[in-house]
Structures are given as C-alpha cells and as structure tokens.
C-alpha cells in the first residue's frame, strides 16, 4: 500500500521530457560564457556573456554561422576548439586570454564538448568558458617558485643531467606523447590524479600509467620534480 502511494506521488520522468520543459530556463541560468553550435558552425544557443566576448549580440547571433557573424570570416577560425571536437569527437580544453582597453588581461579555460546523436555521431558541440585569471596568477607564482627551486638544484648538484628537447639544443631521449604532455601540464598546475582523470575523461588507472611513464622518461621520482623539469625545459 505504501509503495503504491509513493509511486503515485513520485512519477518517473525521462531526461528528454525534463529538458523540454526546463532546457531554456536551465541554459539561461548559466552565467559563464556558454554556447552551442552545430557541425555547420551555426549558433543554436548563446548567452549574453559569450556574445560579449566576441563583440556581438546574443539574440541576433542565434541561427547565424558563428565565424561569419562574429568575425566576418569565410572559414572556421584557426584554433577554434570546435574544429577539434568535430574532427576528433573528443573534448577540447584550452586556455585563452583577452586584453581589455584598461590594460587588464583576463584568462579563461575553454572547454568544448561533443553532443552526440542516438547513433553516436557528433551533431553539435557546446562550449563554456571559466574565468581562471586568479588561478593563472597563482600558477605563475608557483612556476616562478619552481624556477627558483630549479636554480637551487643546479647550484647544489654542480652539473645537471643533459635532457634533449625537440627542436633545440636540448632534447628528450624518449619523446613524450601528446597525452603524456596533457597529463604533465595538469600535474604542473597542481591537479591530482582524480582531477586529471575527470578533466581528460580517462580512467584513474590510465592516469597512473601515464604518470609512471612520465617519471621514467624524465628520470624523476615525484610530481614536484616532474613539474620542475617541465618548467625548466618548457616541455608543456
């Protein structure tokens, strides 16, 4: 009897039916710069914050090709995160900055995610930007400290082990893969293995394997040493 009453009071809803009624309200509640584009680069949704970044009007932008409306271009912008999402079907994460007339520079972490149809094909992508200016300043301070530690290591070790880096006088003996570089970049920024796993959408076990490979290739024993090496030799 109790179970019947509960079922009557708590009917089940599918996610699709929920979004049909709340989708517009939910997206309007997102204050961070946010937009949804289809694979033809038409703007399906964009909020005011994202439109302002690109110098346009969020109401007029919907339905237009983004690079035509915002940049008067004839082709997708070079370096646009949508290019990577539509080409690979994977999320794209990058950091970008914008300089304002008053001289202030603001940094944002741009995350672009694929939207898939029922058959798994990518039909659109949504992009959201998170302000990381304060975090960026903190990381820059940490990098300066790591550079200081690097100099201290040199002073105490007398001679530093040679590492070869691509395209320079120094090069790595075993080249880091792109995924290992992604992991190393996040490690340098202070991410935990769990956070790396969530950010790159790979399993914790895979992250641990990448970290071990990075340590072995760089000849280091912990994350701090790996960060110092990454900054010292500009590996990321």
Residue 88 is inside which H or E element, if any? helix 81-88
Whether residue 37 is found in the same domain as residue 123: yes
User: pLDDT over 70 for what percent of the chain?
Assistant: 74
Whether residue 58 is found in the same domain as residue 140: no
Full-model pTM = 0.52
Per the domain annotation, does 19 fall within a domain? no
Per the domain annotation, does 225 fall within a domain? yes
Considering only residues 160 and 122, tell me which one the structure prediction assigns the higher pLDDT. 122
Residue pLDDT, tens place only, 162-190:
454 444 444 445 578 888 888 988 888 88
Range of the domain at 210: 135-232
Q: Which of 130, 147, 182 is the last residue of a domain?
A: 130
- Provide the 3-class DSSP secondary structure of residue 37: strand
For the cut 70, the answer to whether the pLDDT of residue 157 exceeds it is no
Whether residue 150 is found in the same domain as residue 193: yes
Whether residue 142 is found in the same domain as residue 210: yes
For the cut 80, the answer to whether the pLDDT of residue 37 exceeds it is yes
Cβ atoms of residues 85 and 92 within 8 Å: yes
Whether residue 115 is found in the same domain as residue 151: no
79: which 2 tokens?
């370096």
Give the separation between CA 138 and CA 153, rounded to whole angstroms: 23
Cβ atoms of residues 218 and 188 within 8 Å: no
Give the separation between CA 223 and CA 233, rounded to whole angstroms: 15
Give the list of residues 6+ apart from residue 204 with CB closer than 8 angstroms, or none: 193, 194, 197
Per the domain annotation, does 223 fall within a domain? yes
Check which CATH number belongs to the domain holding 217 and give it.
1.10.10.10
For the cut 90, the answer to whether the pLDDT of residue 4 exceeds it is no
For the cut 60, the answer to whether the pLDDT of residue 68 exceeds it is yes
Residue pLDDT, tens place only, 69-101:
988 889 998 889 999 999 999 999 888 887 877
Q: Which of 130, 145, 177 is the last residue of a domain?
A: 130
Three-state SS string over 96-116 comes to EEEECCCCCEEEEEEEEEEEE
Residue pLDDT, tens place only, 185-204:
888 888 899 888 888 889 99
Per the domain annotation, does 50 fall within a domain? yes
Q: Which of 130, 146, 163 is the last residue of a domain?
A: 130
Considering only residues 119 and 168, tell me which one the structure prediction assigns the higher pLDDT. 119
Per the domain annotation, does 190 fall within a domain? yes
Whether residue 70 is found in the same domain as residue 164: no
């Amino acid at each position: 009897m109790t179970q019947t009453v509960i079922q009557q009071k708590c009917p089940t809803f599918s996610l699709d039916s929920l979004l049909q009624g709340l989708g517009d309200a939910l997206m309007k509640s997102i204050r961070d710069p946010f937009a949804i584009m289809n694979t033809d680069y038409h703007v399906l949704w964009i909020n005011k914050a994202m439109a302002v970044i690109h110098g346009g009007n969020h109401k007029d932008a919907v339905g237009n090709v983004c690079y035509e409306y915002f940049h008067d271009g004839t082709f997708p912008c070079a370096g646009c995160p949508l290019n990577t999402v539509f080409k690979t079907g994977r999320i794209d994460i990058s950091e970008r900055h914008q300089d304002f007339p008053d001289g202030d520079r603001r940094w944002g972490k741009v995350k672009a995610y694929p939207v898939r149809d029922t058959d798994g094909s990518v039909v659109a992508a949504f992009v959201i930007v998170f302000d990381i200016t304060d975090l960026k300043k903190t990381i820059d301070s940490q990098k300066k400290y790591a550079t200081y530690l690097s100099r201290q290591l040199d002073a105490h070790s007398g001679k530093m082990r040679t590492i070869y880096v691509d395209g320079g006088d120094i090069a790595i003996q075993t080249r880091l893969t792109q995924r290992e570089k992604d992991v190393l970049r996040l490690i340098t920024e202070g991410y935990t293995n769990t956070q790396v796993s969530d950010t790159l959408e790979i399993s914790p076990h895979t992250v641990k394997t990448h970290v071990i490979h990075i340590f072995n290739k760089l000849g280091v024993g912990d994350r701090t040493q790996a960060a110092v090496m990454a900054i010292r030799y500009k590996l990321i």
